[in-house]
């Protein structure tokens, strides 16, 4: 039994060590983190609450960031395990104000109605410009990307919990 206890303690220490190493690997500059946090605040869920997800990448042309409002997984009842895409409003004027210069702003709508697995149309807003002196390409998606799971769980009592 003492071996099990030591193994569990070692595992917990390893988890904490891995978590701190991951935090140190975050190569996003502070200005980009602040930008993502500011843009995340621009999502206004139409009903109830939402959780914003994001992905940032650095390439030859600069930083790209993708933001979206995550799906909600329903827990309990006849809808148990189903996911819902939350509707939201988004302040485009405030998005543009996050940039020191906007070179391109576009809206794209992709119709997936012929796809059985995910028939909903998707849309995204793309903005390309400068934040300070830094080149940024940003996309605001109407739904979370396919491989991303739900961001929240809605419990039978109406409460939400992050996943």
User: Is residue 91 a part of any domain in this protein?
Assistant: yes
User: Is residue 40 a part of any domain in this protein?
Assistant: yes
User: Is residue 10 a part of any domain in this protein?
Assistant: no
User: Is residue 74 a part of any domain in this protein?
Assistant: yes
User: Is residue 15 a part of any domain in this protein?
Assistant: no
C-alpha closest to that of 59 among 3, 117, 136: 136
Q: How far is CA 35 from CA 40, 43, 77, 145, 155, in A?
A: 8, 14, 39, 21, 32
User: Is residue 98 a part of any domain in this protein?
Assistant: yes
The pLDDT tens digits of the residues spanning 89-100 come to 999 999 999 999
User: Is residue 150 a part of any domain in this protein?
Assistant: yes
Total count of domains within the chain: 1
pTM for the structure as a whole: 0.73
The pLDDT tens digits of the residues spanning 4-28 come to 444 555 556 667 766 655 555 668 8
């Amino acid at each position: 039994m003492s071996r099990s206890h030591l193994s569990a303690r070692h595992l917990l220490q390893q988890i904490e060590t891995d978590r701190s190493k991951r935090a140190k690997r975050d190569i996003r500059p502070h200005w980009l983190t602040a930008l993502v946090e500011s843009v995340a605040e621009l999502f206004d869920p139409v009903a109830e609450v939402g959780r914003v997800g994001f992905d940032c990448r650095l390439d030859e042309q600069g930083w790209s960031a993708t933001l979206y409002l995550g799906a909600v997984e329903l827990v309990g009842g006849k809808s148990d395990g189903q996911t819902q895409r939350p509707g939201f409003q988004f302040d485009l004027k405030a998005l543009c104000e996050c940039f020191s210069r906007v070179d391109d702003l576009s809206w794209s709508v992709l119709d997936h109605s012929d796809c059985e697995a995910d028939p909903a149309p998707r849309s995204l807003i793309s903005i390309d410009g400068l934040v300070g002196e830094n080149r940024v390409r940003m996309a605001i998606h109407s739904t979370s990307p396919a491989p991303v799971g739900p961001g929240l769980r809605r419990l039978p009592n109406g409460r939400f919990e992050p996943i």
